[in-house]
Amino acid sequence: MHIIRPAIWDYDWGSGTAIQEIVGRDDPRIAEAWFGAHPLAPSTGLDGRPLDQVVAADPHGTLGEGTLRRFGAVLPYLLKLIAADRALSLQVHPNLDRARAGFAAEERAGIPRDAPQRSYRDPNHKPELVYALTRFEAMCGFRTPRRAAEVLSGLGTPLSDALSRTLDDQPSAAGVREVFTRLVDPDLAPSPAEVAQVVAACRRRLESGSPSPRADRTVGLLAGQFPGDPGVVTSLLLNPVTLYPGDALFVPAGGVHAYLHGLAVEVMASSDNVLRAGLTSKHVDVAEMLRNVDYVAAPPIRIAPETFHHATRVYYAPVDDFELSVTDVPADDVAHRLPSRGPRVVLCLYGSVVLADGAQSLTLHRGQAAFVPDRDGAVTVSGTGTVVQAAVP
C-alpha cells in the first residue's frame, strides 16, 4: 500500500474552502479531487508515478484475478471529493453501450480526448453514489407527470401553461419526454424572455404563500446563477433532494440530475462521460444527452448502509463497479478490519489513522489517501478518525 495524491479540478462551480480544508491545500478554488486511475487525471504516488501506470505494470498484483477477469487491466472505480458552491450542470451519464458507441465515434472523428467539446472521454458508463459530508442539495430524476403538472400550474405564463397542459394530456414517460425536449432542444427551447416570465411568476407565487415553495426557491436560485437558461424552468420537472451528513444517493445511467450545493464524497465507475443540456459554462451536447435520458418518473434512489463490526457502514450500490464503506475509528486501541479485498482506495476524512496489513503499516492524516493493492490482502485501521474506502464488490 502507498499514499496517493489526488488530481485537482478547479471548475467554476467549486468552493474556495471546503476541499482545501480536508486536503490541506490553499488553492483559490477546488471543485473536485480525484483519487483513482482514470487516464485523463490519475492520482500519483509519492514517487510521482501515476496510478494507472502502477496498475498497468502489475495488473495481477494490484487488481487481483477477480477484478482483472471482470473489468480488464483497469481500476474500475473513481473516488472523489466534490464541493459545489453553485449549481453544476443539468446532466446525464450514458449506459455502457452508449458510452462505447459514443467514444468510438469521437475517436473516429479525431477529437482529442481532453478537448473541451468532447462528450465521451472514455468507453465506460458512469453510475455514481454521492455520500454527503455536509447538507447537500440536488435535483435527481423526474417527478411524476401529475406532480410536475401541479408545480407548473397556476404560474400563469404561456410557457408554464403549455407544459402543464402537455403533462395533463400525457401523464406518462412520453409526456415527460415531450416537455423536457421542448425545454432543452435548441430548436424548441424557450427564449430568455420566456424563461424570465416563469422566474418572475415563481417569485410572485413564493411571496404569496406558494404550494411549492422549494421548487420556486430553486428556480430563483438557478435564475440568479444562469439567467435565461431553459434549465432554470426544467428544474420544475425534477425531484428535489436534500442529503444530510451520512446520507447517500445513487444516480444510475440515464438519470437526469444536477447538484446545487454542498460537500460530498463520490464514488463512481471510472469515467468522465458527462452529457450536458444547460446550467453550465462547459460543453453542451443536447442531442446526445436526449438520446441517453431515462424519462420514466421515479423517486431518488437513497442507499441505506449495512453495518459491520459496529464501526463500519457499507453502502452497496446496484452496480458491479464499486462499493463505498465508511469506518469511524474510535480511540479504543483496537484494530478494526476494513471490509473487502481486491484493489482499494482509502481516504482519511478526519483524524489520524494507521492502516496495517500484517506485513506493513501506513499512517494517514486528514485528507491523505492510500491505494491498497489486492496482493496486500486484508487491512485493519486503528487510531482515531473516519475513513472512507472505495472497493470492488
- Residues serving a catalytic function are 276
Q: Which cell numbers in the block locate residue 380?
A: 485493519
The helix-helix angle for 158-169 and 145-152 (nearest 10°) equals 160
Strand-pairing partners, residue 266, are 80, 130
Cell for 85? Answer: 458552491
Work out the end-to-end distance of the chain between its first and last CA atoms, rounded to an integer number of angstroms.
Answer: 19
- The 3-class secondary structure across 277-310, one letter per residue, is EECCCCCCCHHHHHHHCCCCCCCCEECCCEEECC
114, three cell numbers: 481532453
Q: Do 79 and 370 form a contact (C-beta atoms < 8 A)? A: no
The residue with cell 403549455 is: 162
What are the cell numbers at 281? Answer: 459554462
Please give the angle made by the CA atoms of 149, 202 and 277, to the nearest 5 degrees.
70
- Give backbone dihedrals phi and psi of 191, rounded to 5 degrees, phi first: -75, 165
CB 201 within 8 A of CB 195: no
Cα–Cα distance, 234 to 322 (Å, whole number): 31
Other residues' Cβ atoms within 10 Å of the Cβ of residue 327:
22
Q: How many other C-beta atoms lie within 10 A of the C-beta of residue 39? A: 16
Distance CA 366, CA 350 (A): 5
Q: Which residues contact 335 (CB under 8 A, 6 or more apart)?
A: 356, 380, 381, 382
User: What whole-number distance in Å separates Cα of residue 187 and Cα of residue 224?
Assistant: 24
Amino acid (1-letter code) at residue 390? A
Residues 47, 228: Cα–Cα separation, whole Å: 48
